[in-house]
Chain A
Amino acid sequence: MSIEQQLRDNLSAAAEALIVPEPKLTPKIARAGWWRSWSRHRHGGSGSGAGARDTCPPSLARPGCPHRLSGCHWFDRRRSNLTTNHHGDVDDVCKT
């Protein structure tokens, strides 16, 4: 077998064997703002009303979180350096 094919086989196997912390990839993308349009679509609001602001998108929310915001993967991962909430608003960070 050629070295090129051995590389393909081994790199693919190694890549598949890597532990992928998938949820961690979500928060910054959310902060970048693209999901706000998604959120508006999902929640049917403008994103500025109380209902929209207090609700995590389903992909971020964790069942059982009383405040919803604090159960986000985003908050778990980025608690130490958050500058915005998960709606991208600087002045509305969940403290719980």
Chain B
Amino acid sequence: MSEAGHLGVSFETFYGVNPVRIFRAIALVLGNSDLALDATEEAMTRAAERWHDVGRYDNPSGWVYRVALNWARTQLRRFARERGALEFEPGYEESLPDPDLIDAVLGLPTDYRAVIVARFLLDWSVEDTARALEIPEGTVKTRTHRALKRLRKVIEERR
């Protein structure tokens, strides 16, 4: 389990840095803190079990991101798990530069949000995002373009 991947990162090191980051990203994609926590936990567990392989990937976080999202989708679809909500610190809206923009992001289709969060929160490239989500780079670009178009429209309508 603790075997280092080709970059020399052990699972313990990976786990020490990434769960919260991944949890936050997954939560914003799903719009559900509780489901995001379980999904992150599940994906991290699978990563631990497969670290011999996952640790060799260029972006193990991308693997965890995809596995967590797929697991959460299965939970929602197959087990009719309740759609929960995000749990923020009290008064969080005051810390957001533009709360309406976050509302607009949360209003995007999940597939779009997965791309937007990967690109602009996790700061992954088009290539990394495509590899993480196992979709073509063209699809990443299309979803990004369409999502930004929708978000621009929200901002413009508010003016």
Contacts and interface: CB of A to CB of B under 8 A. Distances in A.
Interface in B57-113: 86-89, 92, 95-98, 101-102, 105
A50 interface: no
Interface residues on chain B, size class: 35 or more
Q: Please report whether the interface of chain A is mostly helix, strand, loop or mixed according to DSSP.
A: helix
B121 A16 contact: no
Contacts of B37: 21, 24-25
Nearest to B21: A15
A11 B120 contact: yes
A10 to B, nearest CB: 5
Given A17-B95, A19-B88, A25 B23 contact: yes
Contacts of A11: 28, 102, 105, 116-117, 120-121
A2 to B, nearest CB: 9
Interface of A: 3-4, 6-22, 24-25, 27-29, 31-34, 37-38
27 contacts: A4-B120, A4-B148, A6-B97, A6-B98, A7-B116, A7-B120, A7-B148, A10-B97, A10-B98, A10-B105, A11-B117, A13-B97, A15-B25, A17-B88, A18-B24, A18-B86, A18-B87, A21-B33, A24-B37, A25-B20, A25-B40, A27-B41, A28-B42, A29-B45, A31-B45, A33-B49, A34-B12
